[in-house]
Structure 1
Amino acid sequence: MLRLLRGCSLSSSQILKTSSLVARVSGRQKAGTPCVQRAPLQNSPSFFLRPWRLMSRVGSEDGGKDYHTSSCCFKKKVPAVPTKPPPTLTYLPDSPKPALYITLTGLVPFVAPPLFMLMTKTYLPILAFTQMAYGASFLSFLGGVRWGFTLSEDSPAKPDIMNLACSGAPLVFSWYAFLISEGLTEAIVMVIMGFGVALHNEVFLLPHYPNWFKALRIVVTLVAFFSFVATLIIKDFYPETGPKRPIQAE
């Protein structure tokens, strides 16, 4: 208690000394005399330094822990870019060798008619008709593949209305192409539309096939499309020779 009273008396005396010193300095400045003497730093009141001393004492009592603040750093979170699956055509080398060889062999009836007509520089309706007939038959085969794919019990494609109806769509285009085969151009366009609808159903609407089979389907559709387009172009640029339809035996 005595120490506390002594500290209070000392602080009050220091405050009185500093106030008297400030009054003297201000009086000299008013009188016009320059103030050269400055109060040393040791004689400055310790009242203004007490908060820092208290903080140092607290730090020593806590075991010398340093308390500091750092500037907040707000970093923008970079949104995670979703990884895209590889294109379907990259799975083509993964297809079984028998399926790959048979599929490539099955493209010959698509490519051979326009290639032969281009070499002879003539348009042969009989070859264009065989090409259209093969394309229509291929559409029926694709519908049967979808139907058979749903029959297995462990198949991911169930025999529901969606799968079975989509398997019958290529058959409708095939049948209608034969029905209007008198107009060969319209029949070829109908087969092209059937290939496009079948590819959309099998790759995008019903994604249950293996990736290698989807790759084969894309290759077949592209080759059939360009071969039919080549036949239609040849029809407009080269003269027509030969019968329009196969000759029927009497």
Structure 2
Amino acid sequence: MLHFIQKFFQASSKMLKYPFRVGLGASRRTQTLSLKTCLQQNFSPVFLRPWPFSSFLVCMSKTQYYHTSPCTFKKQPVLPARPPKTIMYLPDSPKPAIYVSLAGLIPFFAPPLIMVMAETYIPALAFTQMAYGASFLSFLGGIRWGFALPEGSPAKSDFLNLASSTAPVVFSWLAFLISERLSEAIVTVIIGLGIALHTELFLLPHYPNWFKALRIVGTLVAFLSFVITLLLKDIYPEKGPKRPGQVE
């Protein structure tokens, strides 16, 4: 045992006195072996390595590749805030526009409301509802035409804007043309309202956001009122005066 201890001190003194040089040339960098290296070289035949502890260290070193400290996580870039949906701009509408729009919805939901209260399906009221919806389609086409004509308007007076304004008018004309079949005429008005809303929101997005919000609300109310009228035709019996031009 004393022999190995003397050998260890001799080796460590030699390594400290004559450092091992790494590399050649102008750098001449030196590197001194540590005390741990000397112990491993001189006492490895005498002392057995603690294999269980070393295997545990190896396992811990491997798990470092799979588990990362929270401090090393990269900061995620801050995304810009999403713009609010179109319907959220409804409170920004001018009060006169809100009041006039609400008053303009009365002819849509008044006929089915009266039929529900009377528990009868009245064709004359359904016809007036369809006629108002067709007139409303013509009004929407006039809005697009008038919006594109002034100078400096974001909507140019090109073929796309002016021709698209005639699409609601065509559906309005078709609805009156087939008014003898009232259910088909109501469906035609519903299709025209949907196409007009899709065009104004996605194909020609030049209207103010508050006006788009009003258009969404108005279209939804008109759509629901027409659907209720079609359902009441099958639920309640048909009574009351006939609508104008109805064939017996």
The AA in structure 2 aligned to 1:144 is G
Q: 1:229 aligns with which of 227, 230, 246?
A: 227
1:42 lines up with 2:19 in the alignment = no
For 2:17, give the aligned amino acid: S
Deviation digits for residues 79-125 of structure 1, max 9, x if unmatched?
Answer: 66454321111111111111110000000000100000001100000
**Which of 203, 215, 218 is the matching residue for 1:217?**
215
* Equivalent pairs, count: 200
- Cα distance in 2, alignment partners of residues 110 and 177 from structure 1: 16
- With over 3 angstroms needed to count, the CA separation of the structure-2 counterparts of 1:159 and 1:115, relative to structure 1, is same
Identical pairs, percent: 65
Cα distance in 1 for partners of 2:236, 2:88 equals 38
Q: Which residue of 2 aligns with 1:114?
A: 112
In the alignment, what sits opposite 1:167?
A: 165
| Aligned 8 A contact 2:197 2:219 in 1 | yes
The one of 206, 209, 212 equivalent to 1:208 is: 206
- 1:93 and 2:88 are equivalent in the alignment: no
TM-score (norm 1): 0.73
List 4+ stretches of structure 1 deviating above 2 A.
Answer: 33-51, 53-56, 73-84
1-structure distance, mates of 2:216, 2:88? 11
Q: Which amino acid aligns with 1:158?
A: K
Letter in 2 for 1:37: Q
Cα distance between partner residues in 1 of 2:4 and 2:169: 111
- On the 8 A contact 2:149/2:156 being kept in 1, the answer is yes
- One-letter amino acid of the structure 2 residue matched with residue 193 of structure 1: I
Distance 1:36 1:151, change over 3 A: closer
- Aligned letter for 2:112? P
Q: Which AA in structure 1 matches 2:182?
A: L
Measure the CA separation in 1 of the matches of 2:232 and 2:16.
Answer: 107
Separation in 1 of the partners of 2:166 and 2:73? 56
Per-residue CA deviations over 1:48-103 (Å, capped at 9, x if unaligned) read 3556x9579xxxxxxxxxxxxxxxx9865746645432111111111111111000
Q: What residue ranges of structure 2 are gaps of 5+ in the alignment?
A: 23-27, 32-70
How does the TM-score come out when normalised to structure 2?
A: 0.73
CA distance in 1, matches of 2:107, 2:188: 18
1:178 and 2:176 are equivalent in the alignment? yes
Q: Would the alpha carbon gap of residues 55 and 101 (structure 1) be closer, same or farther in structure 2, given more than 3 Å must change?
A: farther
Q: Give the aligned CA root-mean-square deviation in angstroms.
A: 2.7
**Which of these residues, 146, 149, 155, is aligned with residue 148 of structure 1?**
146
Q: Which has the larger radius of gyration?
A: 1
For structure 1, the 5+ residue unaligned runs are 1-32, 57-72
CA contact (8 A) 2:186 2:226 kept: yes
Q: In structure 1, how many angstroms separate the alpha carbons of the residues matched to 2:163 and 2:204?
A: 11
